[in-house]
Structure 1
């Protein structure tokens, strides 16, 4: 038995568009207004989506359930595994007593929270995004910031906001490669177009991170460092995306930003050191201002500092090999199993302007045991066991404890990826895309919003590009706007959805021990996501109708 998707189930496009929005609107309400726990909101939302797929879209019950459970499995493996491995690695360094040394080594560069967030959340996070992507930078950076003594809420929130500018080129250019695959456009051309949009955001985000943390008055004090951080990143991002190809922008720009900022801090310091109010209150109660390491500054040898950083240095090596070495990918791929879902695989057909002809919708679970991004982090944890001299018994105990800590976030991740899959397989996502495409000449403004919704739904810029990339191209051809611009806008707008994606929210709360506060964190990031998205929408409109000479 087969089933063909219907994109206008109510016979009126506006009504169908509103119906397709219902699960998303409920999820926004549940998290941002009702402040439900993330896993509860996720489970209720996926239930609503399944019921709508069956009753409104006419999707067979068996197909709807199989699609949802395929999403749950995919989310737990490809996203949940990253979180487990990343938090496990962090917990190892804490239990081994190495994190205090790591904190102190960062404090030697700067004890100022404003500068630490630039170094860790923005620059270092961009490197992890470029090498691994898929939740790893938020998990690692949020855990490090919390360990440094950051307010846990800000550690999670700032890491989410910081993980924007590099996302379109994340995982060694996977979003651009995916966009090129579904549109038939040249990947280097798409990269160049994205590289003429996102550098503006790369200049804004470092400033915005510090501003939302401490306000304008304290932000002015570190403007020189913000400019060095953002400008070095933006210039390298533009240069790499336009002249070196789509694989290297994140790696090059993050290293450039880290090095430039670290060297600048050797010759420049802010007039005063910023800490959170609760830190200052605690220090005042103790009669002295504490350092960022939580106590008096201590001098450590180079060997001690290298050992403390070794788990994360090993992490850099493993995620880079997993993401950037074709030789390694080929060999790890031998342990990849493509598992078709019986009764669903190739039983659903897509027919709309999104595709040129009726197309079978595959339903295959990719079980890449060795090639998954989470496995690269777990390998780093395995190697670090020997460096940190942790016994097998203690190593296993830390892993089990980590799994127990992450039960609720894993439930949420499974639920929201299940939501993404039922949205895609039922045709609800396509209804949303076609609804925006009907805006005509206004579409360039809405093109980034479509990418933003795609990332909110899937948690991945790569998946959003696969979902809506060809629709952007076709709509551009219909309204007379260069398809390269609109396809690139899907990716550029999508990165602003990363900080509000339920998967990312779950990663942030899990890494900082804020499980149950997903709604509060969502409300915090949502307004920043809208602000930055609006900027991308304006850039796209200007490039479509005023500065179209910027389109390669």
Structure 2
């Protein structure tokens, strides 16, 4: 056990009763390198269990958590009691707010499915493309997929849009590859921007600041992805014939991401961007008619949609924008953030706060648990879902679109049951990240990596890419590496906010090749076992986009492009 650090007074407390602990980047033999390499062991255990041993993510996270506790206690000298309390705090954060947001978002989406309104929404997208299969595929994979990523995430966009593209008549493997590539640009702000919220909570950097920087990186992908989708669906012919509508769709999506990430509710960035991109495509196709070859005409729905049915299908997404906008309203004497914030919970974690110390001997701020109760995105989504249930249950066409409050509640229970493994996995990953952060493992690794100096900015997105590629989640990647990025940035003299944002944006293109996403795509197109084929088809796009992001972040860390940052 380490001796008490300078600045901490424990003269009146017997060591057997209360043990103080502060992280030490040279805890192992007085060597930073040895300490950092030992700190990498839990991450190595996690990745090896997940890939080489092919264990489920939950088992891998549990193994890594045990490794992190062992390293903390035996290698770094952290009292076992404090290590266990750190893990408990991380699990609490993994449940509230992280999984509260994710489960609420998925329930919100499921309401449109159980009410049968989802089919009308799908047909609305189909009707826009003027019978051109390529345009419809782009809109469904990019705009609707982006909307699903914003609300649900966790593989739902890939599974749903892949099945929709197959229904349009697209070949199975082409459908899978198209939706995998499309599920890149929206990922950073997915599931109500929970990757960003997680990074903000772990690092102490305001989540809005991180979102603002990501809004200067991710839109670059959004600008070109729709054109890439046309190429995937119909090669150079599709790109040559349809580039104007792809450019408009991607351009408006990118502009909406850029504006919303810094000037509106960052949690709604992808919701606004997806709807704005879709609206821009609708307007473009009213002014410009694509030249559609016979072999690229889509199947036509026999029954026409009425304006009322389209309105009710889109209504949930308009409601969620209105609810979030109202929650952020701070004008005209109505200070909603302040009113909602009155119910916030701030808890000095029992047994941990005051005994876990910062380097200067003061109580570590990371031992304070904070939870927005009313202003939390999960709470706002629950409210939005209740409003949707109320509106749908009072609709006059209940015979065709059945929805009652009981149906909505049953859907909520079913969503929680279906998500129970994901809930346990995320809670365990958060416990792992808290143990690594509060024991000093992340601090040692970050300080060690900072020896690369300014070049670390070039490598920063690679960590996020690797984390998401392996875990299948940008949120988990940020849980593992956000604090590391912050520490390395401070030590190397690089803006920590830029590097934390780069971790998130790098994870965006890592999602493309994650085994979890590949399996979901293969299953959705009824081609189990085709994961290796899909990986071969998409890995090149992932690497190229990662290289572009690496160069962009490096230049943003220098005067060359630093003007881009907020």
When normalised by structure 1's length, the TM-score is: 0.74
Match of 1:226 in 2: 246
- Could you tell me whether the CA contact under 8 Å between 1:161 and 1:499 is conserved in 2? yes
1:2 is aligned to 2:20: yes
1:379 is aligned to 2:392: no
1:116-515 equivalence runs, <5 A: 118-119=138-139, 122-123=142-143, 136=152, 141=157, 145=161, 148=164, 157-158=180-181, 160-164=183-187, 182=205, 191=212, 197-208=217-228, 222-234=242-254, 256-266=276-286, 267-269=288-290, 271=292, 290=299, 296-322=301-327, 327-351=335-359, 360-389=364-393, 390-449=403-462, 459=476, 468-469=485-486, 471-476=488-493, 483-484=494-495, 487-498=497-508, 500=510
Structure 1 residues 474 and 210: alpha-carbon distance in aligned structure 2, compared to 1, 3 A threshold = farther
- Could you tell me whether the CA contact under 8 Å between 2:457 and 2:550 is conserved in 1? yes
Distance 2:69 2:349 in 1: 18
Question: Per-residue deviation at 1:305?
Answer: 1.5
SS in 1 for 2:369: strand
Question: Per-residue deviation at 1:401?
Answer: 1.7
Provide the aligned length of Structure 1 versus Structure 2: 510
Query: What is the aligned counterpart of 1:71 among 63, 81, 90?
Result: 90
Question: Per-residue deviation at 1:94?
Answer: 1.9
Distance 1:395 1:86 in 2: 13
SS in 1 for 2:58: helix
Distance 2:322 2:54 in 1: 39
Greater relative CO (CA pairs within 8 A, separation 6+): 1
Structure 1 residues 500 and 61: alpha-carbon distance in aligned structure 2, compared to 1, 3 A threshold = farther
Question: Per-residue deviation at 1:105?
Answer: 1.1
Query: What is the aligned counterpart of 1:49 among 35, 54, 68?
Result: 68
- Could you tell me whether the CA contact under 8 Å between 2:178 and 2:229 is conserved in 1? no
SS in 1 for 2:40: helix
Distance 1:331 1:47 in 2: 41
Which sections of structure 1, spanning at least 5 residues, go unmatched?
Answer: 281-288, 477-482
Distance 1:50 1:102 in 2: 48
- Could you tell me whether the CA contact under 8 Å between 1:452 and 1:496 is conserved in 2? yes
Structure 1 residues 121 and 467: alpha-carbon distance in aligned structure 2, compared to 1, 3 A threshold = farther
Query: What is the aligned counterpart of 1:29 among 45, 48, 54?
Result: 48
1:108 is aligned to 2:127: yes
When normalised by structure 2's length, the TM-score is: 0.73
Question: Per-residue deviation at 1:98?
Answer: 1.6
Question: Per-residue deviation at 1:175?
Answer: 9.4
SS in 2 for 1:5: coil
Question: Per-residue deviation at 1:345?
Answer: 1.6
- Could you tell me whether the CA contact under 8 Å between 2:433 and 2:479 is conserved in 1? no
Question: Per-residue deviation at 1:3?
Answer: 0.3
Distance 2:374 2:226 in 1: 35
- Could you tell me whether the CA contact under 8 Å between 1:88 and 1:398 is conserved in 2? yes
Query: CA-to-partner distance for each residue in 1:228-274, whole Å, 9 max, x for gaps?
Result: 223334456667889x7997987876665343223223323363599
Question: Per-residue deviation at 1:302?
Answer: 0.7
- Could you tell me whether the CA contact under 8 Å between 1:205 and 1:230 is conserved in 2? yes
Structure 1 residues 140 and 273: alpha-carbon distance in aligned structure 2, compared to 1, 3 A threshold = farther
Question: Per-residue deviation at 1:67?
Answer: 1.1
Query: CA-to-partner distance for each residue in 1:9-29, whole Å, 9 max, x for gaps?
Result: 334333333332222233333
Distance 1:250 1:335 in 2: 27
Distance 2:409 2:52 in 1: 40
- Could you tell me whether the CA contact under 8 Å between 2:464 and 2:510 is conserved in 1? no
Distance 1:213 1:78 in 2: 39
Match of 2:12 in 1: none
- Could you tell me whether the CA contact under 8 Å between 1:451 and 1:468 is conserved in 2? no
Query: CA-to-partner distance for each residue in 1:353-411, whole Å, 9 max, x for gaps?
Result: xxx88662432333433222111111111111121113233222222222221111111
Structure 1 residues 206 and 416: alpha-carbon distance in aligned structure 2, compared to 1, 3 A threshold = farther
Structure 1 residues 30 and 60: alpha-carbon distance in aligned structure 2, compared to 1, 3 A threshold = same
Structure 1 residues 71 and 53: alpha-carbon distance in aligned structure 2, compared to 1, 3 A threshold = same
Distance 1:377 1:72 in 2: 22
- Could you tell me whether the CA contact under 8 Å between 2:486 and 2:497 is conserved in 1? yes
Question: Per-residue deviation at 1:85?
Answer: 1.7
Question: Per-residue deviation at 1:180?
Answer: 11
Query: CA-to-partner distance for each residue in 1:315-339, whole Å, 9 max, x for gaps?
Result: 2222333456583322222332223
- Could you tell me whether the CA contact under 8 Å between 1:176 and 1:246 is conserved in 2? no
- Bigger Rg, structure 1 or 2: 2
